[in-house]
């Protein structure tokens, strides 16, 4: 490779300042702006800007030439990749702008909750500016760990410590962005992400069948079925809205949970490997019959009667939040409550199977949280010995 640093006005070789402007007008300072011209594999290429998008000066031009030389040495030099436009397009701020633009469209289509959208916009404004000027391909575990340590210490603009949960949310949204980058071919691999140890344990709340029934009365009639169905089967909201009619086996009274909505896509599970049949009790079965009637096997099981389209996760989540008059989320009101409610009804293995947990430790949590039962045990202890009597006899 041959590389030259040229004045960007007269295109003569320069080594700092070029006097070409001065010759015409002695009042003016010399020209410090330059460009690089290289000759590589039989072709000439010119570059005018540095990696941050600024017009090259002698120092940045020397650095860029050295960078190109090292890329050629490693065999990873791609001349068109180095053009000013391409360089700009690989900047974090450019890519995240594109990503947010797509999220905005999803928001318009009702595929994204306004709450989530507000969050990612504020994460970008308050925290992600840390990555300004970075080439997205250069952001790896080290940069991300520094980001976590330096930028995620305090709540933006305050001296209040950022909670673990917020840190997690900020990194999760960033991870979603990197997944998108990979999908679009902007990066080859998603970098490893630093872990956040959860110091503020969030407690999930479950509600009783009575509270569920009461809350359902406040939900508009036409949207009750999917929520009731989740309460009686323990399937997750993302699973419920993805069910196809063909996954419902009315004769055997089971539902095959074969797919789920994750982010913007429906994720299929390998049949008979990961999918497990979920039994349908009388209520779930009657809902199933109603929603399978007259539909094709590949139709969606639940259709939002208002939009005539499949439900979005956000729609049901929002509906529950606004109207249920409970303190719990839709997930807590349905799947989490289902898991808590079956604990006193059966043994741990059956419960694990009904909860569709691969790992029994997840099921254990529900047993640990089963406070009513714990109280029964200690109450029994208290009544076994009459302390007053023991004392008197001494």
3-state SS, residue 49? strand
Beta strand residue intervals within the chain, DSSP E: 2-7, 34-40, 43-47, 248-249, 254-256, 259-262, 265-268, 277-279, 303-304, 309-310
| Residue number with CB closer to Zn ion (17 or 190) | 17
Fill in the DSSP letter of residue 150.
Answer: H
Q: Report whether 65 contacts 5 (CB < 8 A).
A: yes
Closest distance between Zn ion and the C-beta of residue 162, in Å?
51
Closest distance between Zn ion and the C-beta of residue 5, in Å?
11
Closest distance between Zn ion and the C-beta of residue 53, in Å?
22
b (16+ CB within 10 A) / e for 301-329: bbebeeeeebbbbbbbbbbbeeebebebb
Binding site for Zn ion (CB under 5 A): 7, 9-10, 18, 20
| Residue number with CB closer to Zn ion (58 or 193) | 58
Q: Report whether 248 contacts 301 (CB < 8 A).
A: yes
Q: Are strands 43-47 and 248-249 parallel, antiparallel or unpaired?
A: unpaired
| Residue number with CB closer to Zn ion (13 or 348) | 13
Closest distance between Zn ion and the C-beta of residue 10, in Å?
3
C-alpha–C-alpha distance, residues 168 and 32, integer Å: 46
Closest distance between Zn ion and the C-beta of residue 62, in Å?
17
Closest distance between Zn ion and the C-beta of residue 12, in Å?
5
C-alpha dihedral (70, 76, 78, 82), degrees to nearest 10 = -50
| Residue number with CB closer to Zn ion (9 or 253) | 9
| Residue number with CB closer to Zn ion (58 or 130) | 58
Q: Report whether 230 contacts 334 (CB < 8 A).
A: yes
Give residue 196's Cα distance to chain centre. 15
Closest distance between Zn ion and the C-beta of residue 16, in Å?
11
3-state SS, residue 389? helix
| Residue number with CB closer to Zn ion (12 or 373) | 12
| Residue number with CB closer to Zn ion (10 or 62) | 10
| Residue number with CB closer to Zn ion (4 or 235) | 4
Closest distance between Zn ion and the C-beta of residue 9, in Å?
5
Give residue 161's Cα distance to chain centre. 23
C-alpha–C-alpha distance, residues 139 and 224, integer Å: 46
């Amino acid at each position: 490779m041959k590389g030259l640093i040229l004045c960007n006005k007269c295109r003569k070789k320069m080594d700092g300042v070029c006097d070409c402007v001065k010759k015409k007008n002695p009042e003016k300072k010399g020209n410090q702006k330059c460009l690089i011209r290289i000759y590589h594999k039989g072709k000439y290429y010119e570059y005018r800007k540095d990696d941050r998008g600024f017009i090259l000066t002698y120092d940045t031009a020397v650095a860029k030439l050295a960078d190109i030389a090292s890329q050629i040495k490693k065999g990873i030099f791609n001349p068109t990749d180095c053009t000013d436009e391409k360089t700009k397009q690989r900047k974090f701020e450019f890519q995240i702008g594109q990503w947010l633009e797509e999220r905005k469209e999803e928001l318009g289509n009702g595929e994204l909750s306004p709450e989530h959208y507000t969050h990612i916009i504020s994460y970008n404004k308050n925290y992600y500016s840390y990555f300004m000027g970075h080439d997205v391909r250069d952001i790896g575990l080290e940069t991300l760990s520094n980001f976590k340590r330096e930028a995620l210490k305090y709540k933006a603009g305050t001296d209040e410590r950022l909670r673990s949960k917020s840190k997690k949310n900020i990194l999760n949204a960033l991870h979603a962005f990197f997944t998108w980058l990979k999908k679009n071919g902007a990066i080859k691999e998603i970098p490893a992400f630093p872990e956040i140890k959860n110091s503020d344990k969030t407690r999930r709340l479950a509600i009783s069948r009575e509270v569920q029934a009461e809350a359902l009365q406040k939900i508009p009639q036409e949207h009750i079925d999917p929520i009731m169905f989740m309460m009686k089967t323990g399937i997750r909201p993302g699973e419920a809205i993805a069910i196809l009619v063909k996954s419902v086996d009315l004769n055997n009274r089971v539902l095959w949970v074969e797919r789920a909505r994750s982010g913007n896509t429906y994720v299929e599970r390998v049949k008979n490997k990961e999918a497990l049949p979920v039994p349908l009790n009388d209520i779930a079965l009657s809902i199933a019959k109603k929603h399978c009637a007259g539909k094709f096997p590949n139709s969606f099981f639940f259709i939002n009667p208002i939009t005539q389209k499949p439900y979005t996760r956000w729609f049901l989540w929002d509906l529950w939040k606004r109207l249920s008059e409970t303190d719990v989320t839709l997930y807590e009101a349905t799947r989490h409550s289902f898991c808590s409610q079956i604990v006193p009804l059966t043994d741990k293995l059956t419960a694990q199977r009904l909860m569709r947990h691969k790992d029994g430790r997840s099921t254990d949590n529900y047993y640990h949280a089963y406070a009513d039962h714990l109280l029964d045990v200690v109450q029994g202890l208290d009544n076994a010995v009459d302390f007053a009597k023991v004392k008197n006899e001494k």
